[in-house]
Structure 1
Amino acid sequence: MVTIPEYYEGKHVLITGATGFMGKVLLEKLLRSCPGVRAAYVLVRPKAGQAPDARVADMINCRLFDKLREEQPNFAEKIVAVNSDLTQPDMDLSKEDQETLTSCINIVFHCAATIRFNEPLKDAMQLNVLATQKMVRLAQRIKHLEVFIHVSTAYANCDRELIEEVVYQPPVDYRKLIDTLEWMDDKLVSLMTPKLLGERPNTYTYTKALAEYLVQQECGNLNVAIVRPSIVGASWKEPFPGWIDNFNGPSGIFIAAGKGILRTMRASNNAVADLVPVDVVINTTLAAAWYSGSQKHSRPRSMMVYNCTTGGINPFHWGEVEYHVISTFKRNPLEQAFRRPNVNLTTNHLINQYWIAVSHKAPAFLYDLFLRMSGREPSEYVWYLEIRVFDAMMVLEYFTSHSWVWNTDNVTMLMNQMSTEDKKVFNFDIRQLNWAEYMENYCMGTKKYVLNEELSGLPAARKHLNKLRNIRYTFNTVLVVLIWRIFIARSQMARNIWYFVVSLCFKFLSYFRASSTMRY
């Protein structure tokens, strides 16, 4: 078999979702590690008055492309922005663009999807199912197509405990659901959504399962593979450790914990946190296309599905995640932290609600009260952050409270098919992943690339964190004194109990000191 870079030599590649987190990492890695690729066509819709060309130009100016820019200064010449909107008829492609794509494309990477977990069902169907159907139909018209890669999610079938590398039949016929949603009004759809979801937690996982089944049913003679990543996080190694550019998923939770805004979360310490670095997902995706594409004449009998997960091979638990996030941000604090980092994980709903009231809502209320009493405007920003954090926790708590068993035989097979050099360049062997090192890079990545905080500001941030610690100690001391004056000092029984506890502690310390003296 040819190597991965050799396979992409002279190829025309089509990418959807290229302006998203995974899409841009895929584009950068493809151009950097497969320099012989002929062209990368990216479907981009106009947004906020920006044309597709302008959006792509802004995208490739970010830090992610710095290494590629150094190695290949003219890489932008290979990127072709195509005006398209996947929600519109014919994806809003002009006839000229349709002719161009159907005549030259060799490989399709369909990465576009809504990443909002609680998207209304109609919108989620439009973006995750109908858009996929349009892409499959376009792919069937492409004359020289070698492989179609559909990027799904490992949680598409999260209603199962054991998830194998196969496409499962969903409980509802997607065709009938599409027809039904066309005439049904939004209120009625909202009422029937919980019944449709069943044991799945949200519309995202539900519609991604429908999209997988649609691809299987409608692909015809297309050479198709499906890649299912779990919770995609910051980069492990490429193009540099810890790169992340958004607040989505765990990144926003980590930042909120580092700022001291997040104090409690409903999660199981022992549940497996199936984080997977974005570069691992992209390397798997590029290798999957290489394997299916180079085997097109002796292609596998069934559609290849790859569970790109870490829990079954190199497990890491949410309790460990919490420990590494807090310890990293205590050593390297975020600027202008609201409180010292500290998060309490609990699986009990009532305890979690108590800590939300005590550690989230009460401090925000008291802060606003302080601002009003000092003659300043109340801070809507603090309340906004609290709401954002609360919403993120609600979305993630299903995944932080459960564990799954993943079958990853196809991923192992794919790795074994690669040459020694390809295993180095397109590494997705997560057995080599050191979680402590990765989590520190991840947290520092949120500081550098999401919040744009310079490392030169660390001394001031540490000083601010020490100030917050002193304030906390002072507050606790005042609180103890107040409790003493209000409750204990006024009750003879309470004073007797207090003196008994103090004398007991004193006797214990005296005994310990005497024992130490006798030992020496």
Structure 2
Amino acid sequence: MVTIPEYYEGKNVLITGATGFMGKVLLEKLMRSCPGVKAVYVLVRHKAGHAPLARIADMFNCKLFDRLRDEQPDFAEKIVAVNSDLTLPELDLSKVDQETLADCINIVFHCAATIRFNEPLKDAMLLNVLATQKMVALAHKMKHLEVFLHVSTAYANCDRTLIEEVVYPPPVDYKKLIDSLEWMDEKLVSAMTPGLIGKRPNTYTYTKAIAEYLVQQECGNLNVAIIRPSIVGASWKEPFPGWIDNFNGPSGIFIAAGKGILRTMRASNNAVADLVPVDAVINTTLAAAWYSGSQRHTRSVSHTLAAAWYSGSQRHTRPKSILVYNCTTGSINPFHWGEVEYHVISTFKRNPLEQAFRRPNVNLTTNHLINQYWIAVSHKAPAFLYDLCLRMTGREPRMMKTITRLHRAMMVLEYFTSHSWVWKNDNVTMLMNQMGADDKRTFNFDVRQLNWAEYMENYCMGTKKYVLNEAESGLPAARKHLNKLRNIRYTFNTVLVVFIWRVFIARSQMARNIWYIVVSLCFKFLSYFRASSTMKY
């Protein structure tokens, strides 16, 4: 087969969700590693008074595109911003734009979705399911389409323990659900949501599962592939290690831990943290489209033979076997949440964040009561006292609001930090084996090579540099501040012990007797070990 850059040469590509985290990385990698691509059309809506073209131009000023700007100064000339809103009829595309896309597009990457896990069901269906349905309908009009690649999530079927690379049928008929949601009011939908999503933790995973099945049912003769990434984190290598631009997912939790705000979290130390670097996901995505597109002529023969079994109307609705890729790390290079906690804390102790609230230290527990106790003692009480000090000095209180937002994020992640899954990755392995040596280097997604300690340090430093915009020149001051916090902690603990002694122990004969017994036992224990060590010597 042709190489991946050769396949994309002269092609017109359409990307949805290009202003999102994964969409940006996809656009940058496609332009940089496949310079022969003819044009990239991106569907962008008006937002906060900014036109699509202005939003794209603003996005190109991001640090992510620095390397691309250096290597290809005129890359922006190939980007075509198309005004579109995926939630509106016909994607809010003008007739001219519809005709243009139908005439020229060769490859579609559908990345757009809501990433808010607890979105109301109606909104999640609108963004994750109905928008996908409209994109599939648009794809059917494209005269030269070779591949339609749909980005899903590995957790779409998280109600299963073993997740294979197949499309599973959803628990409800998606067409009936769509029809029902049209006339139901918000209160009724909200009341029905827990029963509908069943064992799934939120509307995000539920609607992504429905979207997968919809794509399978309505793709007809389209050449389709589905990518299922797990928890997408900072970049591994490209365009440079540790790039991240948002607080979503684990990034916000890492920052909160580094700031000393997060002290406890409900999670299992032994649960697999299925983090996957964003560049590994994007490399898999580009390679999957290349493989499906390169194989289209061979596969079209079998599609034609299979179609003979169905009438014309049945052909477009029949269940179809399409390639699904579980883009995960848990079954290939497992890494656990206890290890994540260790590397995050150790990194931020060596390279502290500026103006930390407390020294980094996080306790993971699966016990709900213990977690609630530490939340009250380590989160809410210090936040309340801090805000009280701010009020007394005439400043705006803010810590309780921060803690509230943090707890919401933690509740969303609890399900994923407390469970483990077994993923099948046969298609990912097959895809890797189909690639040539040069493509394997340029589009590397072999996560067996991932060094977790190095990756986690780069990830944490990426949040410091790219999310919080903290320069390395500020590290000496941050370390000095962290030492100051340590001294304050030791002083506070000493004062607390003295206070307890004076108030509770020194005034009670029984308390003093207990205290002396405990101290004498400690001395005997130490003396025993000292004597044992001396005899051994």
Please confirm whether the aligned pair reaches a TM-score higher than 0.5, indicating the same fold.
yes
The question of 1:468 aligning with 2:485 is answered: yes
Matched, 1:337 2:353: no
Aligned pairs (5 A) from 1:59-78: 59-78=59-78
Where 2:30 maps in the other structure, the secondary structure is helix
Deviations along 1:122-170, one digit per CA (max 9) or x if unpaired, are 0000000000000000000000000000000000000000000000000
Q: Secondary structure at the match of 1:205?
A: helix
Q: Tell me by how many angstroms 1:502 deviates.
A: 1.8
Over aligned residue pairs, what C-alpha RMSD do you find?
1.2
Match of residue 476, structure 2, among 442, 459, 464: 459
1:394 pairs with one of 402, 406, 411: 411
User: After superposition, where does 1:372-391 map in structure 2 within 5 Å?
Assistant: 372=391, 374-379=392-397, 381-391=398-408
- CA distance in structure 2 between the aligned counterparts of 1:406 and 1:488, rounded to whole angstroms: 57
**What is the CA–CA distance in structure 2 between the aligned matches of 1:508 and 1:433, rounded to whole Å?**
45
1:50 is aligned to 50
Is the contact made by 1:369 and 1:378 (CA closer than 8 Å) also made in structure 2? no
Q: Residue 264 of structure 1 contacts residue 352 of structure 1 at CA under 8 Å; is this kept in 2?
A: yes
Aligned equivalents of 2:150 and 2:109: distance in 1?
6
Preserved contact between residue 269 and residue 339 of structure 2 (Cα < 8 Å): yes
Distance (whole Å) between structure 2 residues aligned to residue 192 and residue 391 of structure 1: 22
Q: C-alpha displacement at 1:517, in angstroms?
A: 5.4
Distance 1:38 1:432, change over 3 A: same
| Residue in 1 that maps onto 2:459 | 442
Q: CA deviation at 1:509?
A: 3.7
Aligned-pair CA distance for 1:513: 4.5
- Equivalent AA in structure 2 for residue 59 of structure 1: M
The residue aligned with 2:334 is 315
Which whole-Å deviations, capped at 9, do the CAs of 1:178-233 have from their partners, x for residues lacking one? 10000000011000000001000000000000000000000000000000000000
Distance between the aligned counterparts of 1:515 and 1:158, measured in 2?
54
Across the two proteins, how many residue pairs are aligned to each other?
518
**Secondary structure in 2 matching 1:276:** strand
In structure 2, do the counterparts of structure 1 residues 485 and 200 end up closer, same or farther at CA, with 3 Å as the change threshold? same
Residue segments in structure 2 that go unaligned for 5+ positions in a row: 304-320
Equivalent residue in structure 2 for 1:368, among 374, 381, 387: 387
Q: Which residue of 1 aligns with 2:431?
A: 414
Q: What is the match of residue 445 of structure 2?
A: 428
Question: What is the distance in 2 between the residues matched to 1:19 and 1:421?
Answer: 29
Change in Cα spacing, 1:477 to 1:91, as seen in structure 2 (3 Å) is same
Q: Residues of 1 paired with 2:350 and 2:173: CA distance?
A: 52
Equivalent position amino acid for 1:312 in 2: S
The residue number in structure 2 matching 1:249 is 249
Amino acid of the structure 2 residue aligned with 1:407: K
CA contact (8 A) 2:384 2:399 kept: no
Q: Tell me if 1:195 matches 2:191.
A: no
Report the Cα distance in structure 1 between the residues aligned to 2:82 and 2:219, rounded to whole angstroms: 24
- Tell me the alpha carbon deviations over residues 480-514 of structure 1, each in whole angstroms, 9 at most, x when there is no partner: 11111121112111111111222233334445445
> 1:19 touches 1:59 (CA, 8 Å); kept in 2?
yes
Q: Cα–Cα, structure 1 residues 490 and 378, in superposed 2: closer, same or farther, change >3 Å? A: farther
* 1:325 matched residue in structure 2: 344
Paired amino acid for 2:518: V
Alignment of 1:151-170 (within 5 A): 151-170=151-170
Aligned partners of 2:257 and 2:345 also within 8 Å: yes
What percent identity do the matched residue pairs reach?
A: 86
Q: 1:185 aligns to what? A: 185
- Counterpart Cα distance in 1 of 2:91 and 2:66: 32
Could you state the TM-score of these two structures normalised by the residue count of structure 1? Answer: 0.98
CA distance in 2 between counterparts of 1:122 and 1:443 reads 35
- Give CA-to-partner distance per residue, 1:390-434, whole Å, 9 cap, x none: 010000000000000000000000000000000000000000000
2:515 maps to 1:498:
yes
In the TM superposition, what is the alpha-carbon distance from 1:367 to its structure 2 partner? 1.1
- What's the secondary structure of 1:82's corresponding residue? strand
The whole-number CA distance in structure 2 between the counterparts of 1:320 and 1:134 is 42
Letter aligned with residue 63 of structure 1: K
Q: In 2, Cα distance between the equivalents of 1:508 and 1:228? A: 56
8 Å contact 1:321–1:439 — kept in the other structure?
yes
- State the 1:369 CA deviation: 2.2
d(CA) in 2 for partners of 1:64 and 1:513? Answer: 58
SS at match of 1:109: strand
The one-letter amino acid of 1:429's match is D
AA aligned opposite 1:306: Y
Among 463, 482, 501, the residue aligned to 2:499: 482
Gap runs ≥5 in structure 1: none
Q: Which residue of 2 aligns with 1:32?
A: 32
Match of 1:81, SS?
strand
Aligned to 2:135: 135
| 1:370 shift after superposition | 2.5
CA-to-aligned-CA distance 1:47-66 (integer Å, 9 cap, x gap): 11110000000001110000
